[in-house]
Structure 1
Amino acid sequence: ILTPLAAAGVLNVVTGLGPTVGVPLVSHPLVRRVGFTGSVATGQAIGRIAAERVIPLALELGGKSPILVFAVADLDAAARAAAMSVLINSGQVCSATTRLLVERSVQDELVRRIGAILNDKRPGEDFGPIVTPPQSDKVLGMLATARQEGAHAAVGGHKCEDGAPEQGLYIQPTVLTDVKPDMQVAREEIFGPVLVAMPFDTEDEAVALANATEYGLAGAVWCGDTARGMALAHRVEAGQVAVNGGVMGVETPFGGYKMSGIGREKGIEALYEYTQLKTVSVTLPDHATK
């Protein structure tokens, strides 16, 4: 489908499923580069086709991003940031910082402040529905598994049942506590409005927890001191880390480490990925050097 504002062929929007549209597009000889955002499994399938064709690609895949909060941080600001990670698109954002890693001495207080924010939010007004019935079932299933494994919902934890939301796929913004690093909700991307809280006692433990995932898309550090925050950001294995609420925009490169993908979107670095380097060497005639 050609947009009316673009010259023919500049922008084409083709909709359809992977086998009938995705595979032919990636396999077509006129397609010389691929950029994909989606699941790890689909990214791996696309990567195999791109490797066979020897074409470059960028993959922006899953995430299980941490937000590290230390006792000296601005807890109100950190609570607002953590709450927004599950309110925006109901947590259906690949870079959402949904692993809440908190210094043990302030964990209960931070969870209380997050709960005070989330409990006032209304479905359909402050947060939206889950995108599909299967995804809603997946989120609710993971919450059920978390309870069976010993986690507790300090906030939310269930499907919204009252009023208009009962007709939609709304799930309460949730904060789980008593979460262990080996639990499913701590390891796998939920893609729903669920924060999983885990305590730490030392800076090294915080970094180890942050990096204990196959993903590495984004992260956040709240520690008050900027220099300390910058040092911690360098230790977190993620493509972008916000320190004390640092803002990421269209000019900041976006992409991940590990299973979160390869390549970058946004920023000048992304533009470079759509170019191809060529070297030209010329011998000048003698008169040109005189």
Structure 2
Amino acid sequence: MSAETEALIAEYFATGTLKGLPHNHWIDGQWYAPLNGGQMETFDPGLGRAFASFAAGDEPDVERAVNAAERAQQGVWGKATPVERSRILYRAAEGIRANAERLAVIETLDNGKTLSEAQSDVRSAARLFEYYAGAADKLHGETMALGPDYVSQTSLEPVGITAHVIPWNYPFSTAARGLAPALAAGCTAVLKPAEQTPLTALLLAEILHHAGLPAGVCNVVTGTGAKVGAPLVAHPKVRHVTFTGSVQTGRTVMQAAARNITSVTLELGGKSPMVVLSDCDMDATVEDALWAIYSNAGQICSAGSRLVIERSIHAEFIERLAARANQLTLGHGLHNPHVGAISSLEQLEKISAFVEDAKARDIKVAAGGTRLSDPRSGAGWFFAPTILDRVAAADRLVQEEIFGPVLSVQVADSVEHALTLANGTAFGLAAGIYTRDITKALRLARDIDAGQVYINEYYAGGVETPFGGNKLSGFGREKGLEGLRSYCRVKAVTARI
């Protein structure tokens, strides 16, 4: 741990906060107090107490931000060359790395995740800006062969003002995931971070400003979904909405955007299966299953929240996995345990309700199953890593997203049965396959309905790999070159010569 990180942690536990945390909107290249003067509290899930306040915006703040984005789109940013955009994004990546220690500590406090997880998120965000910096000056159209008397070509243009509604489980890296390609394509942006985790999106906007991003290109308005998110996604000047969150809210966003014929990218819920066949490497697969569900305290849309396992290895596998789950340490994220806090009291109560309902129905709890607190303070919002065994295919524990450290186990009698179980929900975000037989793996990968499939390593891939879902998990893709498509529109020009 660096001296800077140690000093920040010491400051927080001595004072209950950190100096210099943002508490206003970022609009048109500067800090703006909310027009209504309102403030909200943000909570440290590791202690279950407020540690900072931030602007509680509403529709007039959204209007100010959208107008700033429009001026920038029509002015300096609309005239910037691709190489100029590229250089700014490279400097932004450098700025994120230069501020990485502080960003990671603040992300841990705001979200509850472990410090090591927050540090990984910050590295990922820097890499996203670096990746899209390299793509900014390589966006180009095509020419079409219409014969000797015509010249026909396409060009890629920025769609215009983009809205980004950021979730609370990965605040910093998700903000970067949508913002970096939007800026690379030449769009302007208004970000609305989750009211549970507003701070690092504001700091990202400031880093971009210091990297040379012109005023108005990136704006951040904080507040509730009802007062900020709703007017933002329904704004007639917004031409694309990128949303990550629940299916229910995603439907609402899509309906609001439809009134203005605004395009959307929706990254919604998941109930992703880990399909474990009898010929897997059991030691490696147990460890992979552990982190597929318990990373970020299970608060990952693509978490491996269902274990679909062949009957012949089920008993031994669950015994080993439960033993590993029981070894995991929990605690305040700044103490860097294995598993951090649940991000809000509301989410903790939702997780607890699912598990208590399972117990009431005599579903076997192979590990965990209880609410906990930070062992040092006795406070905070924690839930034990939990395994619910032999869950029926139609059970709500299989069909509904819990979004916590709770694994539902389904037993399969064959590879074909495993495929049926894997595809047996309304979601289609991700899937894992574990086998030594590459033919089985590739056939399952072909037939599983999911936006991304991992073979023998869950979460395999990187910023270069497209990410997104099918069915109720949404549509559109983020990351990789595919992530640029949402922010570009195609213009065809044909001339007779």
- Give yes or no for contact 2:307–2:408 (8 Å, CA) kept in 1: yes
Are positions 1:276 and 2:489 aligned together?
Answer: yes
Return the match for 2:442 from 218, 227, 230: 230
Return the match for 1:26 from 221, 224, 233: 233
User: More strand per residue: 1 or 2?
Assistant: 2
Give the C-alpha shift of residue 185 in structure 1. 1.1
Separation of aligned partners in 2, 1:258 and 1:80: 29
- Give yes or no for contact 2:234–2:259 (8 Å, CA) kept in 1: no
- Give yes or no for contact 2:373–2:380 (8 Å, CA) kept in 1: no
Return the match for 2:376 from 147, 164, 174: 164
Match of 1:155 in 2: 367
Give the C-alpha shift of residue 165 in structure 1. 6.6
Deviates more, 1:42-51 or 1:153-162: 153-162
TM-score relative to the length of structure 1 = 0.94
Separation of aligned partners in 1, 2:464 and 2:216: 27
Separation of aligned partners in 1, 2:487 and 2:310: 42
Return the match for 2:246 from 8, 20, 39: 39
Match of 2:454 in 1: 242
Match of 1:198 in 2: 410
For residues 207-222 of structure 1, what are the structure 2 equivalents within 5 Å? 207-222=419-434
List per-residue Cα deviations over 1:131-154 (Å, max 9, x = no partner): 111111111110011122231111
How many residue pairs end up in the alignment? Answer: 284
Give the C-alpha shift of residue 68 in structure 1. 0.3
Match of 2:352 in 1: 140
List per-residue Cα deviations over 1:65-84 (Å, max 9, x = no partner): 00000010011111111100
Separation of aligned partners in 1, 2:370 and 2:220: 37
Separation of aligned partners in 1, 2:413 and 2:433: 15
Separation of aligned partners in 2, 1:43 and 1:10: 25
Match of 1:93 in 2: 300
Separation of aligned partners in 2, 1:54 and 1:250: 29
Return the match for 1:48 from 247, 255, 271: 255
- Give yes or no for contact 2:432–2:453 (8 Å, CA) kept in 1: yes
Match of 1:176 in 2: 388
Separation of aligned partners in 1, 2:434 and 2:396: 25
- Give yes or no for contact 1:150–1:179 (8 Å, CA) kept in 2: no
Match of 1:63 in 2: 270
Separation of aligned partners in 2, 1:210 and 1:219: 8
- Give yes or no for contact 2:275–2:432 (8 Å, CA) kept in 1: yes
Match of 2:135 in 1: none
Separation of aligned partners in 2, 1:165 and 1:141: 24
Give the C-alpha shift of residue 161 in structure 1. 5.4
Match of 1:121 in 2: 328
Runs of 5+ consecutive residues of structure 2 not aligned to the other structure: 1-25, 30-205, 332-336
Separation of aligned partners in 1, 2:237 and 2:376: 48
- Give yes or no for contact 1:65–1:215 (8 Å, CA) kept in 2: yes
TM-score relative to the length of structure 2 = 0.56
Match of 1:72 in 2: 279
Tell me the amino acid that sits aligned with residue 138 of structure 1.
Answer: K
Separation of aligned partners in 2, 1:81 and 1:117: 11
Are positions 1:189 and 2:396 aligned together?
Answer: no
Tell me the amino acid that sits aligned with residue 263 of structure 1.
Answer: G
**Superposition CA RMSD, Å:** 1.4
Give the C-alpha shift of residue 234 in structure 1. 1.1
Separation of aligned partners in 2, 1:177 and 1:20: 42
Tell me the amino acid that sits aligned with residue 112 of structure 1.
Answer: E
